[in-house]
C-alpha cells in the first residue's frame, strides 16, 4: 500500500521525525496502525452490542467481583 502525503504533511512528518529522532516510515507505520486499531475497537454496530456482550461472558467468569472498597 502506498501513501502519498501532501507537501505540508510530508514536511510536518519530516520535522517530527527530526525532533523525535525517529524515521519517517516508522512514524507513518505507527500512525496507520493506531488508526486501524482505533477503527477496530469502535467498529461495532448497535445491533451487535448484545451479541458481543454475550460472547464475552466466558472471558469474565474468572474475574473477581469488583467492590468500591477495592479501589
Place 62 in a pLDDT band, splitting at 50, 70 and 90: low
CA distances from 50 to 2, 32, 38, 57, 63 (A): 38, 30, 21, 11, 20
Q: Are 14 and 24 in contact (CB under 8 A)?
A: yes
For the chain, the domain total comes to: 1
Query: What confidence tens digit (pLDDT) does each residue in 2-12 have?
Result: 778 889 989 99
Contact residues for 3 (Cβ-Cβ < 8 A; gap 6+):
28, 32
User: What does the alpha-carbon distance between residue 20 and residue 6 come to, in Å, rounded to a whole number?
Assistant: 21
Whether 24 has a pLDDT exceeding 70, the answer reads: yes
**42: in domain:** yes
Give domain status of residue 48, yes or no.
yes
More confident residue, 53 or 13: 13
Predicted pLDDT at 12: 92
Query: How far apart, in whole angstroms, are the C-alpha atoms of residue 71 and residue 69?
Result: 6
69 belongs to a structural domain:
no
In this model, does residue 57 exceed pLDDT 70?
yes
Q: Could you read off the pLDDT of 44-54 as tens digits, one per residue? A: 677 777 887 78
Structural domain that includes position 38? 8-60
Q: Is residue 19 part of a domain?
A: yes
Amino acid at each position: 500500500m502506498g501513501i502519498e502525503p501532501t507537501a505540508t504533511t510530508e514536511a510536518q512528518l519530516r520535522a517530527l521525525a527530526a525532533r523525535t529522532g525517529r524515521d519517517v516510515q516508522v512514524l507513518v507505520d505507527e500512525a496507520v496502525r493506531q488508526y486501524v486499531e482505533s477503527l477496530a475497537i469502535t467498529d461495532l454496530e448497535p445491533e451487535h452490542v448484545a451479541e458481543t456482550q454475550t460472547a464475552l461472558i466466558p472471558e469474565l467468569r474468572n474475574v473477581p467481583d469488583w467492590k468500591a472498597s477495592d479501589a
